[in-house]
A and B are shown apart, each in its own frame.
Chain A
Amino acid sequence: MPERIELSVNGRALSVPWGTTVAAAVALAGETRFRRSVHGDARGPLCGMGICFECRVTINGEPHARSCLILCADGMEVRTDE
């Protein structure tokens, strides 16, 4: 297992310790908005445990991933602005 993971959040390179979730990486990248609601309001994680779906982001082009449940992996491309 590598000690550190290299990934990108909205195109910005980031290095995080192994065991960091994608949700935490998005926060570490300084983002507070993870998605927009159906009326366009800013939203971010609420439950932290896979229940509320407020933490959805796009990972490697695949939308609607619950970032609080997914661990960062090398080369991951995360987007919150889609």
Chain B
Amino acid sequence: MNSARLSFDLVVVGAGPGGLAAASVAAERGGSVALLDNSPWLGGQIWRGEQARSAVPLARQWIERFLASGARAVMQASVFASPDRGVLLAETPAARLTVRFKKLILATGARELFLPFPGWTLPGVVGPGGLQAMVKAGWPVAGRRVVVAGSGPLLVAVADGLRRYGARIPLIAEQAPQLRLARFAAGLWRYPDKLAQAVAMKARLLGIPYRAGVWLRRAEGGERVERVVLTDGRRSWTVECDLLACGWNLVPNTELPRLLGCALASGFVRVDEFQRSSVEGVFCVGELTGIAGADAALVQGQIAGLAAVGETEAAREWFAERSRWHRFGAALTRAFALRPELRQLAKRETVVCRCEDVSREAVERCRDAREAKLHTRCGMGPCQGRICGAATQFLFGWESDSIRPPVFPVRMESLLTASEHPKPVSNLSDPTS
């Protein structure tokens, strides 16, 4: 395998709205800037694949601005370790990279929260955002029946998108009660652009049943999902489907900041007014610091990008705008808080750790994530606890176990590069075995 050494004044990890904004504003002011992302596309979760089509004006604007900024994009590069201060290791399909930086901005975003329930391991049970991303990359949904369930504004956005690709949506099931959603909607006048989006979306969705206060009990099928059983707490009913898109809000991808030693507060990276983390020279932006949407990520990215190149006064001008989006994020979190009944969905025999096929019963006998790992292998598989860790946090209130490199399973050769450095990486087991 090839290896390469690169060096930049500023390195940004994550090419979503937060990372694009940070890299663009910093590169526009001179200095060498690199933007690394593990996907083949700029734009992160919300705009992935948009550069080719440029259907979304804001996406086009930021991707064009980034391309003109002089920053360098390094795509399909998974950052998996930081063996020394100022050094990251990344792996691309063709090479391993050693990337040196003076300043670092992390914008690794969030992932969907998946909760275990009977049947959630059947093929065809997919995250809503994940399905959306796969559909943009060619996954066929035309004529298929897709039940969308779980929680969060993403459900509606995804159902709308899927329908434009020809999917049929028998139902959107939102677990949050109607009353809380109504209160949230009533507060939306403070965010005119969001309101406009919501209204346009609702209009297009006319005809798709949207039920609040409804959640999944189980999915059924042979080698793939064929139907789902839903409940409103009083009665249960069955809906036939070809795919089930379900996810319960988002959880931040804090593995990399935790590896670097950034302090967390309530599960998110703690940052100061300039988006600086507790680690000198390391900034964090976007969903890593709180779930507040793409607009918040764009503003935070600009603040961090400017602050990283010493333009603190220019950064300050964005503070008021950021406060506005933080209030929006807080309202969102209140509206879509998860109901306690969801903790009871998984039965004793339901698989909690999908990589190692560990049941709830086995996991529940342990005191914490560490013990579960040692006794049941829960969290020891290739996803390294990304799926089951978030689930056991919700189910049992367990804190995630300490983080060790590599934060992504990598090829053996890449790990050997990692161990050439003075501080050897522990946990050299082959994660793919």
Judge if A52 is at the interface, Cβ distance under 8 Å. Answer: yes
Type the 1/0 row for B205-247, where 1 means its CB is closer than 8 Å to any CB of A: 0000000000000000001100000000000000000000000
* Contacting pair A21 B138 (CB below 8 A): yes
B134 touches A23 (CB 8 A): yes
A43 touching B111 by the CB < 8 A rule? no
Contact (Cβ within 8 A) B138 A48? no
> Among the listed stretches B65-73, B117-125, B168-176, B392-400, which one makes contact with chain A, having 4 or more residues with CB under 8 Å of it?
B117-125
Chain B residues at the A interface, C-beta cutoff of 8 Å: 38-40, 45, 49, 52, 76, 78, 93, 111-112, 114, 121-127, 129-134, 137-140, 223-224, 354-357, 381-383, 386-387, 408-409, 432
Contact for A47 among B52, B112, B223, CB less than 8 A: B112
B253 to chain A, nearest CB (A): 8
A71 to B52, CA, bound (A): 15
A22 to B33, CA, bound (A): 31
Q: Give the 10 A-B CB pairs with smallest separation, nearest first.
A: A48-B130, A44-B123, A24-B138, A20-B138, A21-B137, A53-B382, A32-B224, A24-B139, A64-B432, A32-B123
The reply to whether B134 and A21 form a contact with Cβ atoms under 8 Å apart is yes
Q: Which residues of A contact B357 (CB under 8 A)?
A: 37-39, 41
CB contacts (< 8 Å) of A63 on chain B: these are 432
Q: Are A43's CB and B121's CB within 8 A? A: yes
Q: Is A61 an interface residue (CB 8 A)?
A: no
Chain A residues with a Cβ closer than 8 Å to the other chain, count: 37
Which residues of B have CB within 8 Å of A24? 134, 137-140
Please, how many angstroms separate the alpha-carbon atoms of A50 and B127 in the complex? 12
In the complex the two chains form, is B126's CB within 8 Å of A37's CB?
Answer: no
With a cutoff of 8 Å between Cβ atoms, the chain A residues found around residue B408 in the complex are 50
Question: B residues within 8 A CB of A21?
Answer: 134, 137-139
